[in-house]
Amino acid sequence: MDDNWGYVAAGYGLTAGVVAAYVVWLRVRIRRAERSLRDEADG
């Protein structure tokens, strides 16, 4: 097996991790913003 597979795995893992973390972070912030909007509307 090529020794470089470690670098390849790190690269693909990093890409997947960063994209997943960014998507989760955006969704959490959107949910929080929508909740505060609902709370304001409820008075």
Partner 1 sequence: MTGKLLGVASGVSLAVLAVLALVVVPPDAVQGDAQRLMYVHVPTAWLAYLAFFVTAVASVLWLWPRTRAPHWDLLAGSSAEVGVVFTGLTLALGSLWGRPIWGTWWEWDARLTTTLVLFFLYVGYLALRRTGATADERGKRCAIAALIAFADVPVVHFSVTWWETLHQDATVFNPDLDVRMEGFWMPFTLVFSVLAFTLLYATLVRTRLRLAELDEGREERELQRAIEERRRAEVVPA
Q: Which amino acid is at 30?
A: I
Taking CB under 8 A as the rule, does residue 40 contact partner 1?
Answer: yes
Q: Is 37 in the site for partner 1 (CB under 8 A)?
A: yes
> Least distance from C-beta 17 to partner 1, angstroms?
10
Q: Give residues with Cβ within 8 angstroms of 3, minimum separation 6.
A: none
- Residue ranges binding partner 1 (CB under 8 A): 2-5, 7-8, 10-12, 14-15, 18-19, 22-23, 26-27, 29-30, 33-34, 36-37, 40
